[in-house]
């Protein structure tokens, strides 16, 4: 598979009904909502901007939320 942020080759580490956990060499590990994936429809994130957002979220992780989460409302960051 390819990373949802930078399109590089990435590993799907976990998948559930609600989200996927992706390992990307460039973006590191993150979680992304399946609903967001379904509405991306070809639109892309700005990789530099999303990596900054993920790094900020990584500072607030907990044992129950071990990966930064790209949630459905992060659709606002998709480049039109
Ligand atoms: Zn990536």
Q: List pLDDT tens digits, range 31-48.
A: 999 999 999 988 999 999
Residue 50 alpha carbon to ligand 1 centre in Å? 9
Tens of pLDDT along 11-32? 999 999 999 999 999 999 999 9
Residue 64 alpha carbon to ligand 1 centre in Å? 23
Residue 55 alpha carbon to ligand 1 centre in Å? 13
Residue 31 alpha carbon to ligand 1 centre in Å? 12
Work out the mean pLDDT of the chain and round it to a whole number.
Answer: 95
Query: Which of 49-57's residues contact partners 24+ apart within 8 Å by CB, and which partners?
Result: 49/77, 50/5, 50/77, 51/5, 51/26, 51/27, 53/77, 54/27, 54/28, 54/30
Residue 30 alpha carbon to ligand 1 centre in Å? 9
């Amino acid at each position: 598979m390819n990373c949802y942020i930078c399109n590089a080759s990435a590993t799907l580490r976990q998948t559930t009904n609600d989200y996927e956990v992706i390992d990307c060499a460039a973006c590191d590990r993150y979680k992304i909502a399946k609903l967001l994936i379904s509405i991306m429809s070809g639109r892309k994130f700005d990789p530099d901007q999303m990596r900054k957002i993920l790094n900020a979220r990584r500072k607030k992780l907990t044992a129950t939320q071990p990966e930064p989460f790209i949630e459905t409302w992060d659709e606002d960051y998709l480049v039109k």
